[in-house]
Structure 1
Amino acid sequence: MHTGLKIGAFAAALAVTFGTAYGVGQGVAPVVEDRPPASHDTHTEVSPEGGDGHGGHEATPAGGLQISEGGYTLDLRTPRVTAGKQSELRFAIRDDSGRAVTAYRREHEKELHLIVASRDLVTYRHLHPTRAADGTWSISVELPRAGGYRVFADFTPGKKGAENLTLGADLAASGPYEPKDMPSPASTASTDGYEVGLSGGLRPGKEGELKLTVSRNGRPVTDLQPYLGAYGHLVALRSGDLAYLHVHPNSTTKPGPDISFTATAPSSGTYRLFLDFKHEGTVHTAAFTVRAGQASAAEPTHDAGHGH
Structure 2
Amino acid sequence: MTQQQSVRDGTRPVAGRPETAERSGPRPAGDRSERADATEAEVSAVPDRGTVRLALTIAGLLLALLGGFALGRTNAGPGTASAGAAGTGSATADHTHPAGTPSHAHPGAGPGGGDAGGLTLSAAGYTLVPAGTSFTAGRRDDLTFRIQGPDRRTVTGFAVVHEKPMHLIVVRRDLTGYQHLHPTMTPDGTWSVPITLPDPGIWRAYADFTVREAGGAEVPLTLGVDLVVAGAYVPRPLPAPAREATVGELTVTYEGTGQVGASAPLLFRVFAGGNPVTAIEPYLGAYGHLVAVREGDLAYLHVHPEPELVDGAVKFWITVPSPGRYRLYLDVQVGGVVRTAGFTMTVD
CA distance in 1 between partners of 2:138 and 2:239 (Å) = 23
CA distance in 2, matches of 1:82, 1:127: 18
Contact conserved, 1:8 with 1:64, CA < 8 A, in 2?
no
Match in the other structure for 1:114: 168
* Distance of aligned partners of 1:7 and 1:95 in 2 relative to their CA distance in 1, 3 Å threshold: closer
Equivalent positions of 1:51-130 (< 5 A) are 60-130=114-184
Structure 1 outlier segments of 4+, above 4 Å: 4-9
Q: 2:334 aligns with which of 279, 283, 287?
A: 279
SS at match of 1:175: coil
Higher relative contact order (CA 8 A, sep 6+): 1
Query: Do the aligned partners of residues 5 and 98 (structure 1) sit closer, same or farther apart at CA in structure 2, a change above 3 Å counting?
Result: closer
Is 1:153 matched up with 2:207?
Answer: yes
Alpha-carbon distance between aligned partners in 2 of 1:257 and 1:188, rounded to the nearest angstrom: 16
1:59–1:158 Cα change, 3 Å: closer
Q: Distance in 2 between matches of 1:172 and 1:245?
A: 22
Following superposition, the deviation at residue 251 of structure 1 comes to 3.3
CA deviations 1:258-282 (Å, max 9, x no partner) are: 1000010011111000000011111
1:141 alignment partner AA: I
Q: TM-score, normalised by structure 1?
A: 0.75
Tell me how large the CA RMSD over aligned residues is.
Answer: 1.8
Stretches of structure 1 that go unaligned for 5 or more consecutive residues are 10-57, 294-308
Q: 2:279 aligns with which of 206, 220, 223?
A: 223
Q: 1:6: how far off?
A: 5.5
C-alpha separation between the residues in 2 aligned to 1:243 and 1:124? 14
Residues in 2 aligned to 1:266 and 1:253: alpha-carbon distance in whole angstroms: 26
**Distance across 1 between alignment mates of 2:190 and 2:271:** 40
**Distance (whole Å) between structure 2 residues aligned to residue 163 and residue 59 of structure 1:** 16
Note the C-alpha offset of 1:7: 5.0
Q: CA deviation at 1:4?
A: 4.3
Between the two proteins, what is the percent identity of the paired residues? 44
> 2: CA distance between counterparts of 1:235 and 1:217?
26
- Do the aligned partners of 2:212 and 2:219 also contact (CA within 8 Å) in 1? no
2:48 corresponds to: none
- Whether the 8 Å contact between 2:260 and 2:319 is mirrored in structure 1 is yes
Larger radius of gyration: 2
Pick the structure with more strand per residue: 1
Q: Are 2:222 and 1:166 equivalent residues in the alignment?
A: yes
Name the CA distance, whole Å, in 2 between partners of 1:215 and 1:208: 23
Asked whether the equivalents of residues 238 and 271 of structure 1 are also in contact (C-alpha less than 8 Å), the reply is yes
TM alignment of 1:190-205, pairs within 5 A: 190-205=246-261
1:176 matches 2:232: yes
Q: 1:238, CA displacement in angstroms?
A: 0.4
2: distance between equivalents of 1:59 and 1:107?
18
Paired residues, number: 244
Specify the SS of the correspondent of 1:156: strand
Deviations 1:31-67 (A, max 9, x none): xxxxxxxxxxxxxxxxxxxxxxxxxxx9932111111
